[in-house]
């Protein structure tokens, strides 16, 4: 006998299908985790940028990262009186991911 039988051909198609479904599942998981990591990175960068802007005397609470608008809540005094320091806390929440950062902003000569 030469060639493939019908059973051998069907088994080969079934194995190929199982491998394709497995690869599709892995790609889907990769996309979900990649998006989650991007959101975490955006929240951390927005909060850190808000603190740095506060140090420069600018109050900035809206950021755009990866096509998402991130609103940062600042508490504390970004412009403390001369020769004093103030604790400033910046926090943000995107898609259930929360991040908060507290730092000291000083006004020294």
- Give the whole-angstrom CA distance, residue 64 versus residue 47: 12
Provide the strand spans (E) within 9-95.
62-65, 68-75, 84-94
68 strand-pairing partners: 65
Other C-beta atoms lying within 10 Å of the C-beta of residue 21: 10
**Predicted TM-score (pTM) of this structure:** 0.69
Give residue 6's pLDDT: 86
What pLDDT was estimated at residue 1? 61
Tens digit of pLDDT for each residue in 25-58?
999 988 877 778 888 888 999 999 999 999 888 8
Domain boundaries of the chain, sorted by first residue? 6-107
């Amino acid at each position: 006998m030469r060639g493939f039988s019908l059973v051998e051909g069907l088994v080969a198609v079934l194995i190929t299908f199982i491998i394709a479904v497995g690869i599709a599942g892995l790609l889907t998981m990769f996309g979900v985790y990649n998006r989650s990591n991007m959101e975490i990175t955006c929240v951390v960068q927005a909060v850190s940028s808000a603190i740095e802007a506060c140090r420069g005397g600018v109050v900035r609470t809206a950021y755009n990262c990866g096509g998402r608008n991130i609103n940062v809540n600042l508490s504390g005094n970004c412009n403390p009186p001369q020769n004093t320091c103030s604790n400033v806390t910046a926090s943000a929440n995107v898609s259930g991911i929360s991040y908060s950062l507290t730092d000291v902003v000083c006004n020294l000569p």
